[in-house]
Amino acid sequence: MLTKLINGAKQLFRTFTQKDFTKNPNAPVISEDQKKALALGLINGEQITAYTDSLTTGLPKERVAEGLNEAWDVFDGEDALRTIEFLKKGGHRVAFEAVLPFINVTDESERIARLRETLAEQREKIIFSANDEEDSREKFDRELERLTGFANNLIECVAEPGQDPFVPFDEKNIKNGILAWDMGRLVLVARLCRDAGFIDDKTAWDAIIGAYETAKETFNDWREVAASYLIGRGTWGGYTMMLKGPYTIAEDAFENDNSPWKRLSFK
């Protein structure tokens, strides 16, 4: 118990002090593309103080299990593969695309009505499956609530005075979408699932490299990746203090010589 508390305190200290972009002292040799693919999940990884240069996160097993259980509802290999597939095929970017046309609709009741219409038209794309009619209605209502929350969060971030000049929530950045948010999370989830023993190394690397290959089709450099990730984070959580941490990590990633984003080109 004492060891767990000490380890937790160390992790907390690292999280709220200088970001060190920690390297694995026993990291195996990996390819440049593997390094770049891992770097796609840099912000996520740094938030939980994971290694930056190896498949393993270096986190204690209890922290790995806690993160997967509480944040992702992942408890076994089946859950792991389901979650990886969700992030590959849809993630939050499907909801983001659905709400984007309506963030300039100022009347909230009208905005909700239009989101309802959109959800009804795209229910098969947004709501993957339902067991029966009652389950379908419940999932529809939950998804409408989620879309409404995403729209409100994005509106809040756009309207917030004194936008962060590093990544403003402006039309250009918003138009690029939030693919990096989903792909960055996919990289970390695959690493955590591997550390938990839910998937093997090959499955993890396939997911991670796949995320990087997908990201390369959309982004030109790490700055575009950072913008897309942070806008996704803001859409999910709103403009709160919780967004400040990822902002700080991203800014430091372009300044700290230990950062993979300083040492590696994106493509």
Quick one: what percent of the chain has pLDDT higher than 90?
A: 70
196 within 8 A of 188, measured Cβ to Cβ: no
Percentages of the chain per state (helix, strand, coil), in multiples of 5: 65, 0, 35
CB contact at 8 A, 21 and 258? yes
Alpha carbon 75 to chain centroid distance?
19
**If pLDDT is split at 50, 70 and 90, which confidence band does 158 have?**
confident
Q: Is the pTM of this model over 0.85?
A: yes
Select the more confidently predicted residue: 40 or 162: 40
13 pLDDT higher than 80: no
What would the pLDDT profile of 47-72 be if each residue is shown by its tens digit? 999 999 999 999 999 999 999 999 99
Banded pLDDT at 121 (limits 50, 70, 90): confident
Contact 47, 56 (CB under 8 A): no
- pLDDT class for 164, splitting at 50, 70, 90? low
Q: Can you give the pLDDT at residue 114?
A: 95
pLDDT at 163: 54
CB contact at 8 A, 39 and 264: yes
pLDDT (0 to 100) of residue 49:
94
Q: So where are the chain's domains?
A: 30-92+176-263, 94-168
User: For the ranges 1-5, 81-85, 208-212, 213-217, which has the lowest average pLDDT?
Assistant: 1-5
* Residue 19 pLDDT exceeds 60: no
Residue range 11-27: mean pLDDT, rounded:
67
Q: Give the pLDDT score at 138.
A: 87
Question: Would the pLDDT of 128 be above 80?
Answer: no
Average pLDDT, the chain: 88
Task: Please tell me the predicted confidence (pLDDT) of residue 239.
Answer: 83
